[in-house]
Chain A
Amino acid sequence: MLWLFLMVGSGCQSQSSTNDQQPEAQVVESAMAIDSVAQALSVAPDSQVVNGIHVPTGLVADDGYLLVRNNCSNCHSLDLVKNKRASLEGWLATIRWMQQTQGLWDLGKNEKPILDYLAKNYAPEDTGRRRQLTGIEWYILEE
């Protein structure tokens, strides 16, 4: 277990170093608030990638995913990222809205890689006016 605690500790360091635009106070706060899987297990991130997914967060492990983890999960669940689909303009509009109304900081030089990552990995697909019923779990109806 000691090994685990050491690993978690190093994860916090990597978080503050990859997130250089984040105000100091926010880094301290997020490192102390171990209330998400991502923060509790932020150990050597790339080694936790399985089948292209960063397992603790569920994010697609493409260029920029650690920036997304570090800048987005302080306030809200990464579910809100993973469940959203938008174009680059759409993601930018959401970031601006969060900056104007929700207290998100200036992302600085991280903004472009974050936007590129989101627009590439969480892009909308055109499902038209009505999509097919999908994901049906069939069962025999007994009455």
Chain B
Amino acid sequence: MAKGLLLTMSLALGKSTLHTESLRAQASSGTLRPSGFNMQGKNPELIVLSDRPLNVETPPHLLNDEVTPTANVFIRNNGLPPESVDATNWTLTVEGESAKTRKKFTLADLKKNFKHYTYQLQLECGGNGRGEFSPPGKGNQWGNGAIQCCQWTGVRVKDVLAAVGVKPDAVYVAYYGKDRHVSGDPEKVPISRGVPIKKALEEESLLAWAMNGEDIPLIHGYPLRVVFGGWPASTSGKWVDRLVVRNKVHDGPKMTHGSYMVPARPIAPGAKAPEDKDMRIIESMPVRSLITYPKTGAILQNKKTLKLRGHAWAGDLEVKEMHVSLDFGATWQPCQLQKPVNRLAWQHWNAQVTFPSTGYYEVWARATDTEGTMQPMVVPAWNPGGYLNNACHRIAVQVG
């Protein structure tokens, strides 16, 4: 009976060639997808953590490019994208207690009336690396691949705010977008976050319509999003139609109840989550790096040297030094590290290592930021939301 049902289900999935064994494997591994599932043009090697809302991560070896190709960019959604977008009639309203006026701009107004800027900006999910916390943090169990560095084009948030006027008591700038809540309740806002006014006024803070030289894809916020490089990517709202200049810390959904917050004072692993008043909102992301070449699991035959490549970033800061270790952190070898092409872009590094013998090795990578802070070798301070795990990236290598 089960076999017959599986066959029927294969037909229902619209894939008559889908074998029952494959279906079973997909179900038990969690990779079974609904019949209408759409990878949104992504590289099929990306890992789907959740199909509704869509959350997809990039394996580190697919982040080897200096600028992340759109097909390899991770997806983090709290809600569902708007069903249809009319870019021609898209408007951005800027208002709020600390806005001197209320102004509405069409997308064409923004493009016509303000100077355009293009920057490479690293955007990392606040929960990147969450999957390693023990006990587990709440939310998508990301590996290491919720990071990207794309080229973004748009206008400066500060230029648009200047056109509206900002009162001296401004504290926060927050976004609202046209995404839909997963519950289907049209009154519910899936996410509305923001940044302190100081961050909003930085030169690299953009209202962007282009990603890697093309219209931003729908799943990444078409036709307009904010981009705040170096901060939790949840501050870079998508499908944005409203900016609010607040006279207090913004209180939209996902700004409270512990979202994107860590305890103000360290707590023991598994301890009860403190009240929001005893938490701090995550701002600049911590120093981190990835080994993007080779892919983990490399077997070296007839040689003991290996060329390594990767990227490193440090939120609002720069990365000062990059090291790799072949002996679990006992000794470290410096890497060649490039400067960022612009502020808040990730930096590329490379190294050549020689393994002392045949056998099983791990390559560990460690970045140090301009304040001297290094990546930890073990998972850092436990927190209920499982944020900010910047433990060193490791790949496995078999020599001989």
Contact = CB atoms under 8 A, between A and B. Distances in A.
Interface of A: 1, 3-4, 7-8, 29, 35-37, 40-41, 43-44, 47-51, 53-58, 74-77, 79-80, 82-87, 90, 93-94, 97, 100-104, 124-131, 133, 136-141, 143
Contact of B5 (A43, A76, A131): A43
B297 A139 contact: yes
Given A127-B134, A133-B394, A35 B52 contact: yes
Q: Name the residue in A7, A56, A94 with the highest tally of chain B Cβ atoms < 10 Å from its Cβ.
A: A56
Given A53-B28, A124-B136, A141-B294, 13 more contacts: A1-B11, A50-B27, A56-B9, A57-B27, A58-B30, A76-B182, A79-B51, A80-B50, A97-B257, A102-B183, A103-B188, A104-B183, A129-B378
A79 B30 contact: yes
B28 A51 contact: yes
A85 B131 CA distance: 10
A35 to B, nearest CB: 6
Interface in B363-400: 377-379, 391, 394-396, 398
Interface of B: 1-2, 5-6, 8-9, 11-13, 23-24, 26-30, 32-36, 48-53, 132, 134-136, 138, 140-141, 181-185, 188, 253, 257, 273, 294-301, 306-307, 362, 377-379, 391, 394-396, 398
B194 to A, nearest CB: 18
Contacts of A55: 6, 9, 23-24, 27, 32
Nearest to B8: A4
A37 B24 CA distance: 13
Contacts of B35: 37, 40
A43 B51 CA distance: 21
B34 A36 contact: yes
